Amino acid sequence: MSFFSKTKTFKPQRKIKEGTKQYELKKFADATLGSGNLHLAVVLPEGEDLNEWLAVNTVDFFNQINMLYGTITEFCTTDSCKVMSAGPKYEYHWADGQTIKKPQRLSAPDYIDRLMNWIQDLLDNENVFPSKMGYSFPKNFQSIVKIIFKRLFRVYAHMYHNHFDDITNLGEEAHLNTSFKHFMYFVREFKLIKNNELAPLKELIKTLLEEKKK
């Protein structure tokens, strides 16, 4: 998406190092995305390692959401969004499990700032997201990825529920929808988020993924 090369970012972009397996997978993913088939683009390439594929796409979605949120930071303030939420029914509290173990009620911009910093730290940690030869993924890697995706979903949910008018006024709704549709295809392909966590955008997900009601 050319949009993503022109947009300011909320946090610095996370780049995948050239010459690594993940860099080759990133090129493959970009080429597949270029075909316009989002469903096909999320499928694990034949013969490739699942953890490598999860790592590459985690970086990609972090960058996409980083840039999408970066366009609306002037509208998402401690005054306008006093709590991190997805509409009136869903509120999210922050805890990182280390320095903050008891979930805290934060404004949306504070929550998202901490979340993106937390993810950035994980992506930069070679013990968690290895890029160098000889480093292996930790045994709990897929559990970590699931937590990251669960929390990234909350940023999408906040943007849709609280800032869709702002996004529409900026002419970015198509970019948001395409990014979220890609995200959800990936989530569904690898069962990364439980259905109850997806509740805030349940109807939108059905519409975008053209699911038939059972």
Report the CATH number at residue 87.
1.20.140.30
- Mean pLDDT is lowest, of 33-47, 59-73, 91-105, 163-177, for 33-47
**Among the listed residues 162, 168, 12, the one whose alpha carbon sits nearest the alpha carbon of residue 88:** 162
Give the 3-state secondary structure of residue 133: coil
Whether 106 is in a domain gets the answer yes
User: Tokens in use for 17?
Assistant: 């190092």
Whether 81 is in a domain gets the answer yes
pLDDT tier, 150 (very low <50, low <70, confident <90, very high otherwise)? very high
Domain count, the chain: 1
pLDDT of residue 97: 78
pLDDT of residue 48: 85
Whether 46 is in a domain gets the answer no
Whether 9 is in a domain gets the answer no
Domain range holding 80? 58-208
Mean of the pLDDT values across residues 151-174?
Answer: 94
- Mean pLDDT is lowest, of 27-31, 91-95, 98-102, 182-186, for 27-31
Whether 43 is in a domain gets the answer no
Instruction: Output the CA torsion sign for 47, 124, 84, 8.
Output: negative
